[in-house]
Structures are given as structure tokens and as C-alpha cells.
Structure 1
Amino acid sequence: MLSYRCFGRETKCFIRISDLQSDLLSVLELGVRNTYDLDLGFQPELVIDAGGNIGLFTLRAAAGTASVSKAPVEFVIVEPLPRNIAQIEKHLPLNHIKARLMAGCLGGTHRSIPFYCREAIDSSFDPEKPYLSVLDVPVFRLSDAIGSSAAQRILIKLDIEGMEVEVLKQFVPTERRAVYVVGELHNHQVNSSIFEGIFRDQGWTFEYRSISHDHALFRACSPAALPLLKSMASIPTPVQA
């Protein structure tokens, strides 16, 4: 078991020998680095961790929100890989966190899709790379993850292996609440113009945090969320087409 400080709170997780490289990388990104730009002033009422892996983003978000507010926060984790879900189920009680787990992935429409299993952090929907096994996983929409929650401030993290375009294309046009999205865009060269248009056409504020090869980290917020996010105040809001 590994113990580390996160926003002044002791956080604990288990490191698997069988997935050692993946788990250590997850700890580096989500325990040491603020990879997904948590803006603590946003104070979300609901956190959706899509592509949850072993749940370390949820642990970080829980520590961060607890450091600025005592108000209760709802957590939802979406993850398709069974052995990762097993780790999440260990980490949540270990850190005194309650969350709703959804075994599957996010997409734009309800269906089932093949998921190619490799190392814990490298499984994906891409059949081109060598894989160990294949799962048929259900696809949920973001509205399913939100469910009946009455939350008006929603933090969404998307590490969903190329499904981010269809997820946001379905979600963004009808969303009016204060929503802050952080995540990864895969196949940046092909998807960037479509991706940027999703936000621009709805008046959302958007930026890339980094671009490496064909992979980008991004963040975006709805018009209702912008006044709550000081770290995004200086980013120009795209002109709607």
C-alpha cells in the first residue's frame, strides 16, 4: 500500500505487482502532478471520473474538494476493465469515499462495443495493437452518469480512449448547467477541428493544456461555469459560428 499527501489530506492506494508500471504512472499523474487541472474554486457538487482506471482521479478530487468545502460531493466512476474496478472497490472505503460505479464506457449512443484488454493503463478500443483479451462492454451517455443528481456544478474528467468526440458532441449542445470538463483528446490531428467546433458553437471556453505527438490534454467550461473558474478567466471565449 502507498500513502501520499494530496491537498493536505492523506490518500492511500494499492500498487499491483501485475500492473506495476501502469499503477506507478497513475500515481505520478494523479498523485504527484495536477495532470487534469483541478480548479478548487469551482467546488463541484458532482464529479464524474470517466476512464476511472483505479480511481486515483476520484481520490484527488475528493481531497481537493474537501480542502475548500465541507459540502457533500457526489462521485461517479465509469470504468470498463474488471480488474481496475476491483481496485476502485478497494480504494474507495480505504479513503472513506462513496461513489457510484458504472462498469462500461462513455459514448454518444447506447450500444455495446469491443474493448481490447492490455496493461491496465493501455487497454482501449483500438484493435490494431496487440491485446490479451476482448470484452464486450456497454456504452453509457453522460446523461446516464449524471442520472437523477440535482447537482448544478459538475466536474467531468474524460480519459476515454478516443470516445471523447462523440460523448461531447452529444452532451454539450443541450447542457446549461455549470460544467467543467478536463481530459484527453486522442488523434488530435484528425479530431481537433471537430472537437473545437463542439465548444465554439455553444459558446464554451476551451483550451489545450499540452499537445504531444497526436495526443492533447484539454479543458473546457460552459458559460455558466466560467465565472466560477478563475484559472480560465483570461482564456478568450471562441466566437460562435
Structure 2
Amino acid sequence: MIYLDHAASTPLRPAARDAWIAATAEVGNASSVHGSGQAARRVLEDAREEVAARLDCQPIEVVFTGGGTESINLALKGLWWERPGNTGAIVLPDGEHHATLDTAAWLATQGAVVRPVGLDAVGRIAPASFAEAMGSDAEAAALATALVVNNEVGTVQDAAALAAAAAEARVPLHLDAVGAVAHVPVSFAGWRGDARGASGLVALSLSGHKFGAPVGTGALVVSRHA
């Protein structure tokens, strides 16, 4: 059998397998101060620095997770609970992955209002429509989310434009980059731009098994300037 469904999951790369096996030889709790613990900590922090370099963010902004679904859940629920009073809308484009749809549906049971945003004939989000859905001032949404690369049809969104629209509306934006990392250029700092101390792009999700890493690995990038 020739496996072709790499949009769903990729084979484990030999280099990733070797690194994974080598890491298991380090016995120690990365939070311990003794030699074994610090050796394990070095493996962890080296990995964090490498991921940060690939995503153009700071190592302190990388939070390792058990995969893309956990990363998306953590981002959306965390941003929602950060909202005073847990009120407001979630800007949710059509065509999102079920990890996002299911999380938004659960948040709707907790009081969130979902504001849908339509797509064009090839699955693109119009930044103007995205901006309109986010609102402004008292009507501003609690958060917005968007899929950077659609895993079913391959549509690539203009992530920088979506981030700029979120920054203009001062709405925190999460980007699902699970299908983007290692396939198209990803720059967390570049997409976020100069939105320091304001909203805009504040979180980005990825999943290791989409680009040759082990199943059950992922990360959430969280801006330290959010």
C-alpha cells in the first residue's frame, strides 16, 4: 500500500524517531534540580527553542501540548475565560476544523454567542467580513479564530491580514496552523506585526503528526504581549 493521505497524518520521520528514542534515555523530572532532572530539562528547553525558531516566536511563548486538538481547546477556552464576565461573541468562520467547531459549540453552552463568517467559492475569508464580525468598542467580540490552511481543500488564508484586522478591532485572535506548519511559511511575529500590548494575534496551534513528528505531540504559541 502507498500511503498518500498526508493532510490527515504523516509517517514518523526517521530523524524524529531517533530524537524521540534518544530523549527517552534521559531519566529525570525536568523540574528537579539534580543532574538527571537538569539533563531532562535541557532536552525540553532545546526542543522549545527549536520550535520557537521555526515559528518565529520566543521560546517562552511555546507551550507543549498533547496535540492540535488540545492546543485549540486550551487557546479558545483560555481566551474565553480571560474575558471579564465570560461574555461576548466568538468570531467563527465557516469551514473550521471540528476541534474548533466542537470547542465553540461547548462554549456556546456556557454563554458564548457564535458569530459566523462566510467563505468565498474557494474557501477564503474576506478580511473585511472578518473585521465586521469582530465589531468594535462595546460590541467587540470576545475572541476570533481562523484556520490558516484548510486540511480538506487546501485553501490558504492571508493570516497577516486577519491578524491586522483583529489588532485593529482589539480582539484576541487564535490561528489554527495545524495544516500550515512545515507546509507554508509560518511567522508568528511577522503575522502579529507591531500589535504589542494590544490584541490581534495572540495564540497559534500546531500538531506534530502533521509533519513527521510522533502522534500525541503539539504546541500552543501564546504571545507574551497579549
TM bucket (normalised to shorter chain) is 0.3 to 0.5
Which structure has the greater CA radius of gyration? 2
Give the helix-richer structure, 1 or 2.
2
State the TM-score, normalizing by the size of structure 2. 0.43
The structure whose RCO (Cα within 8 Å, separation 6+) is larger is 2
Give the strand-richer structure, 1 or 2.
1
